[in-house]
Amino acid sequence: MAIEISAALVKQLRDKTGVGMMECKAALVEANGDLVEAETILRKRGLASAAKKTGRSTGEGVIGSYIHLGGKIGVLVEVNCESDFVARTDDFQNLVKEVGMQIAAANPTYARREDVPADVIERERAIYRAQMENSGKPANVIEKIIDGKLNAFYEQAVLVDQPSIRDPKVTIGALIQQIIAKLGENISVPRFARFKVGEGA
């Protein structure tokens, strides 16, 4: 027998996820009225559809600014999307603010992995390799350890790989994917600048 899904439950899920009413109802039916399970179903679908959108061109967007309390740190960040309409939405504006705060607090060096110069990656690999030189471990094990250390380097130096300062369980990249899924447009952060008083002296 099919379970009866109340309009209030559908609205609750919609408010939580930003997904349309019909999709919310379908997910709740599939989850037998379990709100948490229905949200998981939507996130799986949403992130799958977000992944399809990441190749699309992003020619619109905004330059956001964030000045940290006391005016000692300032950030300018470009966040792009596909349409001016999406650029004006609260969700997009909140994401721009969130990314600005992240840059101010976590001080990434690069926006994306592809922005990291090849010589920097090679230098990091050489350092890790030298650290492992006398470990006595087989070469293939050493390479796996080096890859792990390189991922840790990305988490520190690359904006989209950094854990969010608000929720360390979620990376900035995953946060962007969630907004892509919600707004239905590709979003990218191609560049930023961070200024700290005294650094230019």
Confidence (pLDDT) at 189: 94
Task: Give 16-67 pLDDT, tens digit per residue.
Answer: 766 666 778 888 888 898 888 888 887 776 654 555 555 666 678 899 999 9
Q: What is the Cα–Cα distance from 77 to 190, expressed in whole angstroms?
A: 8
Confidence (pLDDT) at 134: 79
Q: Kindly report each contact of residues 90-94 with a partner whose C-beta sits within 8 Å and lies 24 or more positions away, as own/partner.
A: 91/18, 91/179, 91/182, 91/183, 92/62, 92/179, 92/183, 92/187, 93/62, 93/64
State the pTM of this model. 0.69
| Superfamily (CATH H level) for 7-53 | Ubiquitin-associated (UBA) domain (1.10.8.10)
Confidence (pLDDT) at 35: 85
Fold of the domain spanning 60-112+158-196:
Tetrahydropterin Synthase; Chain A (3.30.479)
Does the pLDDT at position 1 exceed 80? no
Q: What is the mean pLDDT of residues 134-142?
A: 82
* CB distance 75 to 104 below 8 Å: yes
Place of tokens 């608000």: 166
Confidence (pLDDT) at 110: 97
